[in-house]
Amino acid sequence: MFGFLKRKTREVKAPADGEVVALESVNDEVFSQKLAGDGVAIVPVSNIFTAPIDGVVSKIFSTNHAYSIKSTKDLEVMVHIGLDTVELKGKGFKRIANEGDEVKAGDGIIRADLSYIQEHAKDIITPIIISDESDVRSIEKKLNIVKIGDVIMEVS
């Protein structure tokens, strides 16, 4: 009856299989101090990284180590595969989607060679950040073992 009083809740889904952990546990000050935004991190066990929300691929870094998806509901989510992975200069990453592509949660964006990244980067842990928090009042985080598509955050 009073649906207009209800806050809109948007689900952010796991972009990879793995274990979701608190962002504060990430061994990188930019992420652990939430300087890039709030969210969670995932310790991935799958080589495919997917769209965490429905929307448009708004950015894929030239090194393919990070990407952002912007929804039509004013939510932008960045997935940053590993720590200090920009220094790999794209090695170990293969682009599946391109900037401007419309995607659904679960659509593949980047294929990563986890073994290579674990051997050559600081860490494989993958922060998932709400990069535009202007319309965010709260983030309910679900720390758990997940598969691609499982809900990891509810943003309202």
Which residues form the catalytic set? 80
Distance between CA atoms of residues 101 and 126, nearest Å: 22
**Residue 22's CB: how many other CB atoms inside 10 A?**
12
* Beta-bridge partners for 45: none
Distance between CA atoms of residues 15 and 76, nearest Å: 14
Q: With the C-alpha atoms ordered 42, 102, 59, 86, is the resulting torsion angle positive or negative?
A: positive
